[in-house]
Amino acid sequence: MNEMTTGWFDSREMLIGGKWQAAARTLPLEDPSTGSEIGEIARGGADEIDAAVAAAQSALAGEWGRTTAVERGRILTRIGQLVLERVEDLARLEAQDVGKPLTQARNDAIALARYMEFYGGAADKVMGETIPYQDGYTVYTLREPHGVTGHIVPWNYPMQIIGRSVGGALAMGNAAVLKPAEEACLTALAFARLAEEAGLPAGALNVVPGLGEEAGAALAGHPGVDHVSFTGSYPVGQLIQKAAAENVVPVTLELGGKSPQLVFADADLDAALPFLVNAGIQNAGQTCSASSRILIQRSRYQEVAERMAERYGALRVGPAMSDLEVGPLISAAQKRIVEGYLRLGADLDCVATGRIVEEAPDGGHYVAPHLLSGARPGHRLEQEEIFGPAQVLVPFDDEDEAVAIANGTGLGLVAAVWSENGGRQMRLARRLRAGQVFVNNYGAGGGVELPFGGVGKSGHGREKGFEALYSFSQLKTVAAHHG
Ligand code: NAD
């Protein structure tokens, strides 16, 4: 097996300092829809990370460091245009690499373009301020890049997470070293190709695929890295924060969730239903902000369960290219984890499942979506991230109980309230412990513009929106005494 033929890059290569180079070692590349090996990717390690960090430092000392905010914005905007021109190619790459149904992969490619447009437009709009101070002083603040930013991203939404993280960092003038996930790195390479084509100077973006414990750990703990942005699991997030602490550099941690949707008796169920189900099964449930808990006021519990079950009955699971509602999981290992959770839920009432289509290849990592009813607060399926296509339904009696259950996992990424009562909407938006609260919607269609991140064990720091630009920069105060 050798490189995967993409027509525009060699899957075994890395990009370091503007040079595409093969790694000495490789890793197999698998298609989750079939379980077969379709090529190889680079297995970068500590040496390659060293070289990438040095290349990023040179870029900051050279052309990239001298690039004005206006020009950085233009480059990002051009990358966005090129992404839009290649949406179909990018979507196919991602579908094959992640097992994501084609329509969902296409949406991710469009979101990547949106991030580039948004951060391209924002690059020259981040300003400092003047501060009234004592007579004889002029005091002002400057927003400056950290320097070299490390980006460690997972496999579930490579394009979206690269867009929000690398996009924000480049907009502020940082030089980035990106370590994509070993399970899915093709669109990271494709993105780097497009960035080059758009005129991004050499070394401003370096991409080193490889294993987490090798390339990822080397990047998180590298003394030349000035900021680390990590999206992934809680245990690895802890390691990243410890590694960054050694060098006393800031980290953004975007970790997992157990995001609830609270359905009150006065909710508009017709409006809510598509969101209740889609938020659980999109990307086969492998979404950090997946809504894997649906909390329902007791008087309408049965009705909501029945109507969700109807929708589950229509869900088809199959290969990414068949573009059904649900694709395979990313790997055999992920399938084992999800099946383990389903066994833990054997004491719950399985009210409906989706269906794996006959043409789904045997080697693919397919799991039928499961809708499970009757979970008590504290049940492991009510508490832990499943990261697969399964949702639990939990009854509640009143607002206080709903809030206690919703806030009872230690995680806090996203929450939603479905109710027609304006007072309740406002009260709960405040009481729910989450980085984002949606009222009568869920996810707001992706929301490139909306700051995103967790509280508690879901992480800290914000990406997306304008807010990310503050994370990807540091504030300098200048106090000039002039008498
Ligand atoms: P993971 O933590 O295993 O891997 C994420 C990334 O970290 C990968 O690039 C991996 O190679 C790297 N990594 C692994 N071990 C490492 C180490 N020791 N040092 C440095 N890097 C290391 O997570 P995953 O299984 O790929 O993704 C699933 C998790 O990510 C879920 O918990 C999910 O909720 C979370 N996630 C969160 C968000 C968010 O925005 N909050 C988005 C997507 C996924």
The bridge status of strand 137-145 relative to strand 148-152 is unpaired
In SS3 terms, 211-266 reads as CHHHHHHHHHCCCCCCEEEEECCHHHHHHHHHHHHHCCCCEEEECCCCCEEEECCC
pLDDT digits (tens, 9 = 90+) for 203-229: 999 999 999 999 999 999 999 999 999
Q: Which of 40, 182, 288, 385 is catalytic?
A: 288
**What whole-number distance in Å separates Cα of residue 254 and Cα of residue 459?**
5
- Average pLDDT on 131-145 reads 97
Please state, rounded to an integer, the average pLDDT across all residues of the chain. Answer: 97
pLDDT at 425 over 50: yes
pLDDT at 251 over 80: yes
Does the pLDDT value for residue 103 go beyond 80?
A: yes
Nearest to 332 by CA among 366, 285, 283: 366
For residue 10, name the pLDDT band (cuts at 50, 70, 90). Answer: very high
What pLDDT is attached to residue 4?
61
Q: Considering only CA atoms, which residue is closest to atom 43 of ligand 1?
A: 288
Q: State residue 3's pLDDT score.
A: 53
Q: CA–CA distance from 324 to each of 100, 280, 289, 315, 453 (Å)? A: 10, 15, 21, 8, 29
Residue 455 has pLDDT above 90, yes or no: yes
Residue range 313-323, pLDDT digits in tens: 999 999 999 99
Per-residue pLDDT for 120 more than 50?
yes
Phi, psi (deg, nearest 5) at residue 245: -65, -35
pLDDT at residue 2 tops 80: no
| Spatial separation of the C-alpha atoms in residues 66 and 191, rounded to whole Å | 23
**How far, in Å, from the CA of 39 to the mean position of ligand 1?**
23
What does the alpha-carbon distance between residue 310 and residue 353 come to, in Å, rounded to a whole number?
Answer: 10
Mean predicted confidence (pLDDT) in 295-310: 98
Backbone angles phi, psi at 482, to 5 degrees: -125, 5
Query: What is the reported pLDDT for 48?
Result: 98
In this prediction, residues 63-84 reach a mean pLDDT of 98
Q: Tell me the C-alpha distance between 276 and 463, whole Å.
A: 25
Q: Which helix (H) or strand (E) holds 13?
A: strand 13-16
Q: How far is the CA of 233 from the centre of ligand 1 (A)?
A: 4
Q: What is the pLDDT of residues 336-388, one digit of tens each?
A: 999 999 999 999 999 999 999 999 999 999 999 999 999 999 999 999 999 99
Q: Put residue 415 in one of left, alpha, beta given phi > 0 → left and psi -120 to 50 → alpha.
A: beta
Which of 152, 155, 238, 246 to mutate to test ligand 1, by most ligand atoms within 8 A of the CB atom? 152
Contacts 24+ apart (CB under 8 A), 297-302: 297/263, 297/264, 297/265, 297/395, 297/396, 297/397, 297/398, 297/402, 298/395, 298/396, 298/397, 299/265, 300/263, 300/265, 300/267, 300/269, 301/393, 301/395
Q: Is the pLDDT of residue 1 over 50?
A: no
41-55, 143-157, 442-456: least confidently modelled range: 442-456
The protein residue with its alpha carbon nearest to ligand 1, atom 40, reads: 254
In this prediction, residues 253-263 reach a mean pLDDT of 97
- Among residues 254, 382, 385, 399, the one annotated as catalytic is 254
The ligand 1 atom at the shortest distance from the C-alpha of residue 235 is 2
- Look up 350 and say whether it is catalytic: no
Domains of the chain plus CATH, in order, are 3-255+460-477 (3.40.605.10), 260-446 (3.40.309.10)
Nearest CA, atom 16, ligand 1: 212
Q: Do the Cβ atoms of 326 and 315 come closer than 8 Å? A: yes
Rounded CA gap, 317 and 365, in Å? 10
Report the distance separating Cα 471 and Cα 226, nearest Å.
Answer: 12
Please give the sequence-ordered ranges of beta strands (E in DSSP) within 32-129, or none if there are none. 36-42
Q: Name which residue sits closest to atom 10 of ligand 1, judged by CA.
A: 212
- Per DSSP, the residues of 420-461 read S-HHHHHHHHHHS-SSEEEESSSGGGG-TTS-B--EETTEES
Could you tell me the distance, in angstroms and rounded to a whole number, from the CA of residue 236 to the centre of ligand 1? 7
Tell me the β-bridge partners of 479.
139
**pTM more than 0.95:** yes
| Ramachandran region, residue 330 (left: φ > 0; alpha: ψ -120 to 50; beta: rest) | alpha
If you measure from the C-alpha of residue 155 to the centroid of ligand 1, how many angstroms do you get, rounded to a whole number?
8
pLDDT band of residue 475 (cuts 50, 70, 90) is: very high
What spacing in Å lies between the alpha carbon of 235 and ligand 1's midpoint?
A: 9
Q: Whose CA is nearest to atom 18 of ligand 1?
A: 213
Contact 126, 172 (CB under 8 A): yes
**Can you tell me the mean pLDDT for 66-81?**
98
Query: What is the structure's pLDDT at 330?
Result: 98
Residues with CB under 6 A from ligand 1: 152-157, 179, 181-182, 212-213, 216-217, 220, 231-233, 236, 239-240, 254-256, 288, 385, 387, 413, 459
Closest ligand 1 atom number to CA of residue 220: 20
Q: How far is the CA of 328 from the centre of ligand 1 (A)?
A: 19
- Report, as an integer, the average pLDDT of 225-237: 98
**Ligand 1 atom closest to residue 152's alpha carbon, by position in its atom list:** 9
Contact 371, 312 (CB under 8 A): yes
